[in-house]
Amino acid sequence: MGAFTIGEVARRAAISIDTVRYYERRHLLPAPARRASGYRQYGDEDVQRLRFIRRAKALGFALEDIRSLLDLSIDHERGVHGLRARTEAKLADIDARIAQLQKMRRGLRQLVADCPGSGALDHCPILAALGGKEPA
Amino acid sequence: MGAFTIGEVARRAAISIDTVRYYERRHLLPAPARRASGYRQYGDEDVQRLRFIRRAKALGFALEDIRSLLDLSIDHERGVHGLRARTEAKLADIDARIAQLQKMRRGLRQLVADCPGSGALDHCPILAALGGKEPA
DNA sequence: CTTGACTCTGGACCACGCTCCAGGGTTTAG
DNA sequence: CTAAACCCTGGAGCGTGGTCCAGAGTCAAG
């Protein structure tokens, strides 16, 4: 369906025009067809791809990671060479991220639970935990 | 009771000398006393402060956040409220990230399940999981 | 006194992920 | 036809969080 201008595709993907061109330069988005005038022409698949990028970015993936995720799906279309290994590597990466965040979360959760919400800062467990002693 | 040089304080806090000076420029660390020669002189409280910064950073706080946390510690009456609120906000942010990562993880799991290393699929589950439709 | 390790300043530079700008050309509504 | 709104390119600039460098001075050991 779509034969969108860059402005339309940007609006549909809820990102800026500059960002669309930036992603093209960074090869996260394939170079689109051009009109005779030089205007870029996009389709629905580009909107999908840009939304994918936006969501993955919101999950904390670097653009480079996202590019490899996208490459992964291209491999998928082409017939799956080494796809499983790469997918599992990505999965391990995600698990590590989750574990890291959960560790962080437990630390902060405990601090909030212990925090009286009032009183002298000298007794604040958050500061105590952050400023605590270390071995060596 | 130290009277540490920048090298010593950096080593004790497990960060680089350049980073110590960088934190000073960014006002995360007060400008230290100087020897007649101009050498910076640090004390134990600086080591503590640098360790605080390192820990807070590991918990996901931006340097700017950390600077306000440190500033808050000056305001003993109000400090705890602000600190607790900031910590809780950070916690909510972390929870959201975990939830989204788990969603993505499920998508990738599905991809692995659907694609055991050979054969072809006509649809990418990652795109399905993350590139899904949006309102408008 | 010499040597080597350390420190000083200021500024350049890096990666990341945009964001904006100038100075053009194009498209479209009235 | 005109004017507004859009698009093009290339490159500069920005915020974050550092890292590295030159060219100079300082300190401690032998």
Could you tell me the pLDDT band of residue A44, with boundaries at 50, 70 and 90? very high
A54, A127, A130: best mutation site toward chain B, by most B Cβ within 10 Å? A130
CB contact under 8 Å between B131 and A59, yes or no, is no
The gap between the terminal CA atoms of chain A, to the nearest Å, is: 64
Backbone angles phi, psi at A111, to 5 degrees: -65, -45
Give the pLDDT band (50/70/90) at residue B23: very high
pLDDT category, B133, cuts 50, 70, 90? very low
Which residues lie closer than 8 Å to A44 by C-beta, 6 or more apart?
A: A1, A2
Alpha-carbon distance of B53 to B61, in angstroms, equals 9
Beta carbons of A53 and A28 less than 8 angstroms apart: yes
- Go through A71-85 and write b for each residue having 16 or more CB atoms within 10 A of its CB, e for each that does not: ebbebbeeebeebee
Residue A94 has pLDDT above 60, yes or no: yes
C-alpha R_g of chain B: 23
B118 or A81, greater pLDDT? A81
DSSP state of A28: S
Whether residue B79 and residue A124 make contact (CB cut-off 8 A), yes or no, is: yes
Instruction: Tell me what ipTM this predicted complex has.
Output: 0.66
Token pair in block for residue B99 = 């939830």
Per residue in B25-80, pLDDT tens? Answer: 999 999 999 999 999 999 999 998 999 898 878 767 789 888 877 776 555 455 56
